[in-house]
Chain A
Amino acid sequence: MSLAESVETVPLKAIKSAKFGLLSPEIVRKYAIMEITTSEVYDEGGLPVRGGITDRRLGVAEPGARCETCGHAYDTCPGHFGYIELVKPVIHVGFARMIYDILRATCPNCGRIMLRNDEIKRYRERLARLRQRWRLLALNLHEKIRKKASERAVCPHCGHKKNKMKFERPYYFYEETEGGALVKLDPETLRERLAKVPGEDLELLGIDPAVARPEWAILRLLPVPPPHVRPSIQLESGVRSEDDLTHKLVDIIRMNEKLKMAIETGAPTNVIESLWDLLQYHVATYFDNELPGVPVAKHRSGRPLKGLAQRLKGKEGRFRGSLSGKRVNFSARTVISPDPNISINEVGVPYEIAKIVTVPERVTEWNIDFLRELVIRGPDVWPGANYVITPEGRRIDLRYVKDRKALAERLAPGWVVERHLIDGDVVLFNRQPSLHRVSMMGHIVKVLPGRTFRLHLSVCPPYNADFDGDEMNLHAPQTEEARAEARTLMLVEKQIITPRYGGSIIGARQDYIIGAYLLSHKSTFITKRELAYLLGAGMSAEDPPEPAILHPVELWTGKQVISHFLPRDLTWVQPTAFKSKCQDAFRCDRDEWIIVINGELVKGVLDKKSIGAEQIGSLWHRIARDYSPEVARRWLDSSLRVFLRFLDLHGFSLGMDSLHLPREAYEEIDRIVKSGIEKAYELLNDYRSGRLEAMPGLTVHETFENRIAEILSKVREEAAYVVERYLAKNSEGYLMAKTGARGSIINIVQMVAVLGQQTIRGERIRRGFRTRTLPHFPADDIGPHAGGFVQGAFKFGLSPIEYFFHAAAGRDGLIDTAVRTAQSGYMQRRLINALQDIYVAYDGTVRFGGTLLLQPLYGGDGVDVSRSDHGKIIDMGVLRLAARVGT
């Protein structure tokens, strides 16, 4: 039956509401087609036993057989329920808590709710009022009524003095007698008590007696689902393997039979009791096999059986695994690798994938020649097509078409061709975990040789991707509407500005930054050849600028190259990372300030602060905000390529000589380290002799630890100062740290001066041996060295002890990140689940799920952060600047 047919034949009804209740014994009996009377499953011939759990009257779930109830085969038989009559009733574990709540609020003698008539009347009126208009408050009131009724000890209706009840998870109930002894209440007694509670009293407790009488939560009849719910599998060896639920049901029936026998033969009560309890156990684990305090029911192999709850619960359960999570066609997944030459909008797709993932294209007068060509090329040659769909809806697989040319001739407007992905198609690209909206963006396909997806380095941060083996998914939208949305809303260039704080999440990083710095440097001059090469890399369509130097050779400055790609009307002033002495941008004779006037970079070097990602109020932020996404993207595409090509020409590598310090520097560092360690030992002496005074709120030892950490971290700080002073200003290490391309001064200090204090869980190293961290130290040594202070640096090597501490701290860091990601991931999931129904309505209000109001105006001011300047509508600074420069 095709989908179109079924829609026409099935009568449509709109669901107005859903109500949840309990199955009454009558309904169970009415729904059932038969009673299960025997625990035997198959006879010697391997045929289902009549009255057993695989009885053909329940329906058939395997091909070949016919259902004895409806006469249909496995694919059309809907399945029919059966039931098991339990000899003694048992508690439904899912409702044990509810049973307890009701029993506590009602009188065991007369069954009435433990409230006076006037109270009942008052609450009933209030409920009626609330239910009309304030549904959520009604729920609150039920809870209050329950509490109030539970507190009362003497029944106002019959005067019966109620004993205290005790509930022991998962399904045991006790009553406390006057003597204080606990008497166990069996399900039969509980059932009797619950049956006594009148319907009107149940309504007060928030239960609708029409659909959920509490005594129905104590099971006499157990519904048996048809085999469709618990299909058996035939293994290749001919052995039958039954579903977990079938196993569990057989256990229940067997226990039921044993109990019946025991009662009929008049076995002692304690035997009956224990059998009854076992029956309760089996029924409970049939519903939920992960109950706290209950041993897990196991398969013969030792594997835990799956109860009904386990089928629904959790990641692989029915809801998250089968209903919310679906597998899709027209998708692809492979390893990702970088390609700095494609646009940030693009994704490189391997030929192998482009030939499998298709896009349906409707034949029109205008594309018929093109599509005919694709059909002729067939499924094996890219670009080709895999399927042709006729106007009648027939799908023709081009793999099996002998004469594709003839088919191509028959093509006419109205047909649909499922053609291969080609350059320019829009697809969705995604990397898990999909934590925010930029985890899935629209990309333009670029079919490339190779077997990996290629993506631009600047789109790694939104996906949080790197190339150490990461895989990503690609989806090809199948309708015109979906493609249009992907292109206008999801395309990478439309996502440059994040709605989180209005900054750009995409921008230059690492190589690009250092390349841009070198290119914008004052000393950079470019020959004509190089200029042509760079402008070509940037795909410039405009004439090159006039050279800055005409004689003896024509030379251009790096700033000219950068200016060539800037928007013509851009004006911007900002400090660089090198800003030190100059306070006024316009009176600075060094490159400490960036000044761009009318798209001309007149002063300043580029660095992370000006073109990096996530930098608010930067040159790149200005471009991304003030110009269209397309202009911004084009600037980034071409400029980044230029920066990289220039870096190729220039060359950049970090070696030992990039980390050279003069002798004086080392002398100074040695002095700093020595005095630091001396101070640490002085402190240790104070601590040992008891002269150290505790800081407020801390013990003496804590004080000592704080102080020593302070002293030792100061050592690194002071060393950093020395390193920064003596390190050559044009050394690669210094440039990377200063421009923000990679690393910081701290990293250089760790390489050339001191590695510093190593920590485990944020504390100095203290564990290891009984009285010391390592056997190389005297007992009770808590000095700087024994505590993990590393005096060496990478350039000169660490001592074995230092190396060990460094490794320990490094491992701790790895564990820490692993734990943190797991914890924050779960936190994120819970948050998203709780907040997913919140939206900004068209009237600017923030609402929850179409019912509740959260804010009368989004954020209090109605500002869309992604379209604002620092949360304000306009940035006055930009306007003032424009006025000063006079554009």
Chain B
Amino acid sequence: MGRIVIGVKDVSVIPREQAKELLKKLRLKPWQLPWIRASDPLVKYAGARPGDILKIVEEFPTAEEVVCYRLVVPG
């Protein structure tokens, strides 16, 4: 569990309070976010559980750092 997948710079679980704020800002219900399976190595790396929201920072050749939010779903 040491290394992160290539292209992904950072993964972290967003604390409940912040997640709520984020969802309010984007006017979304949790399930409307992109999903990520709990069996995904990234989720295990971040130590997230189903229902958590992950903040994933990726590296792109065109747009340096790209932030993406994903909802952890069972599976």
CA distance A140 to B73 in the complex (A): 11
Cβ B28 vs Cβ A856 within 8 A: no
Bound CA span A845–B66, Å:
13
Inter-chain CA distance A10–B66, complex, in Å, is: 52
A140–B37 Cα distance when bound, in Å, is 13
Q: In whole angstroms, what is the CA distance A497 to B10 when docked?
A: 36
Rounded to whole angstroms, the CA-CA distance of A443 and B26 in the bound complex is: 40
From residue B48, how far is it (CB to closest CB) to chain A in Å? 16
| A856 and B62 contact, CB distance less than 8 A | no
Of the candidates A843, A852, A863, which one forms a contact with B32 in the assembled complex, judged by CB atoms under 8 Å apart?
A852
In the complex the two chains form, is A134's CB within 8 Å of B60's CB?
no
- Let me know if B26 and A861 touch, CB within 8 A: no
Contact A860 B60 (CB under 8 A): yes
Residues of chain A with a CB closer than 8 A to B33's CB: 852-853
| Residue of A with least CB distance to B69 | A856
Pairwise interchain contact B63-A863, C-beta atoms closer than 8 A: yes
Are A856 and B32 neighbours in the complex by a CB distance under 8 Å? no
Q: Does A797 contact B (CB under 8 A)?
A: no
Chain A residues closer than 8 Å to B4, beta-carbon distance: none
In the complex, the answer to whether A853 meets B29 with C-beta atoms within 8 Å is no
Residues of chain B within 8 A of A856, CB atoms compared: 26, 67-69
Residue of A nearest to B74 (CB): A137
Q: Assess whether B68 is in contact with A861, with CB atoms less than 8 Å apart.
A: no
- Please state if A861 and B31 are interface contacts (CB–CB under 8 Å): no
Q: How far is the CB of B7 from chain A (nearest CB, A)?
A: 12
Is A801 close to B, CB under 8 A? no
Q: How far is the CB of B59 from chain A (nearest CB, A)?
A: 10
Q: Is B47 located at the chain interface by the 8 A CB criterion?
A: no
B28, B31, B62, B68: the one contacting A134 at CB < 8 Å is B31
A612 smallest CB distance to B (angstroms): 25
Whether A861 and B34, one on each chain, are in contact in the complex, defined by CB atoms closer than 8 angstroms, is no
Contact A861 B30 (CB under 8 A): no
Cβ of A853 and Cβ of B30 under 8 Å apart?
A: no
> Who on chain B is nearest to A141 by CB?
B74
Note all chain A residues with C-beta closer than 8 A to B26. Answer: 843, 845, 853, 856
Count chain B CB atoms within 10 A of each CB in A135, A137, A843, A845 and give the residue with the most: A137
A863 to B63, CA, bound (A): 9
Question: Do B63 and A854 touch (CB < 8 A)?
Answer: no
Is A851 interfacial (CB-CB < 8 Å)? yes
CA distance A78 to B65 in the complex (A): 62
Q: Which residues of B are found within 8 Å of A863, using beta-carbon distances?
A: 63
CB atoms of B30 and A134 under 8 A apart? yes
- Would you give the shortest CB distance from A868 to chain B, in whole angstroms? 10
Closest chain A CB from B35 CB (angstroms):
9
Chain B 18-49, CB within 8 Å of chain A: the 1/0 string? 00000000101111111000000000000000
A148 to chain B, nearest CB (A): 14
Q: Which residues does chain B contribute within 8 Å of A871, judged by CB atoms?
A: 62
Distance in Å: Cβ of B32 to nearest Cβ of chain A: 5
**Contact pick for A853, options B28, B58, B60, B62, CB 8 Å:** B28
A residues less than 8 Å from B58 (CB atoms): 860
A136-B31 contact in complex given A845-B26, A856-B26, A856-B69, C-beta closer than 8 Å: yes
Count of A-B contacts judged by CB separation below 8 Å: 44
Complex Cα distance A71/B44, Å?
72
| Chain A residues, Cβ within 8 Å of B34 | 852-854
CA distance A871 to B61 in the complex (A): 11
**CB within 8 Å for A851 and B32 given contacts A845-B26, A856-B67, A856-B69:** yes
Residue A317, interface by CB 8 Å: no
A52 to chain B, nearest CB (A): 54
Contact flag A855-B63 (CB < 8 Å), given A135-B31, A845-B26:
no
A863–B66 CA distance with the chains assembled, in angstroms: 13
CB interface residues, A 832-887, toward B, < 8 Å: 843, 845, 851-857, 859-861, 863, 871
Q: Give the one of A845, A856, A861 with max B CB within 10 A.
A: A856
Expressed in whole angstroms, the minimum distance between the Cβ of B28 and any Cβ of chain A is 6
Residues of A within 8 A of B67 (CB): 856-857
Q: How far is the CB of A131 from chain B (nearest CB, A)?
A: 11
Q: Verify A133–B62 contact, CB threshold 8 A.
A: no
Residues of B near A136 (CB, < 8 A) are 31
Which residues of chain B are near A860, meaning CB under 8 Å?
58, 60, 62-63, 66
Distance in angstroms from B43 CB to nearest chain A CB is 16
**Would A853 and B63 count as touching, CB distance under 8 A?**
no
| Alpha-carbon distance between A186 and B66 when the two chains are bound, in angstroms | 59
CB neighbours (8 Å) of B62 from chain A are: 859-861, 871
Chain B residue at smallest Cβ distance from A859: B63
**In the bound complex, CA of A852 to CA of B69 (Å):** 12
Assess whether B32 is in contact with A853, with CB atoms less than 8 Å apart. Answer: yes
Question: Which residues from 134 to 182 on chain A have a C-beta closer than 8 Å to any C-beta of chain B?
Answer: 134-137, 140
Nearest A residue to B75 by beta-carbon distance? A140
B30 near A133: Cβ-Cβ < 8 Å? yes
Contact in complex: B31, A133 (CB < 8 Å): yes
Q: Which residue of A lies closest to B29 (CB)?
A: A133
B73 touches A861 (CB 8 A): no
The reply to whether A855 and B68 form a contact with Cβ atoms under 8 Å apart is: yes
Contacts of B60 in A (CB 8 A): 860
Cα(A856)–Cα(B58), bound, Å = 13
In the complex, what distance in Å separates the CA atom of A851 from the CA atom of B34? Answer: 11
**Cα–Cα, bound, A855→B28 (Å):** 13
Which residues does chain A contribute within 8 Å of B29, judged by CB atoms? Answer: 133-134
CB distance from A645 to the nearest CB of B (A): 43
| CA of A851 to CA of B30, assembled, Å | 11
Nearest chain A CB to B11 CB, angstrom units: 15
Contacts of A861 in B (CB 8 A): 62-64, 66
Nearest-CB residue, chain B, relative to A862: B63
CB under 8 Å from chain B, chain A span 508-535: none
Q: When chains A and B are docked, how far (Å) is the Cα of A272 from the Cα of B52?
A: 61
Q: Contact residues of B with A, CB < 8 Å? A: 26, 28-34, 58, 60, 62-64, 66-69, 73, 75
* 9 smallest beta-carbon distances between A and B, as pairs: A860-B66, A861-B63, A860-B63, A134-B31, A852-B32, A871-B62, A853-B33, A860-B60, A853-B32
Known: A133-B30, A137-B73. 5 other contacts (CB 8 A): A135-B31, A843-B26, A856-B67, A857-B66, A857-B67
A residues apposed to B, CB below 8 Å? 133-137, 140, 843, 845, 851-857, 859-861, 863, 871
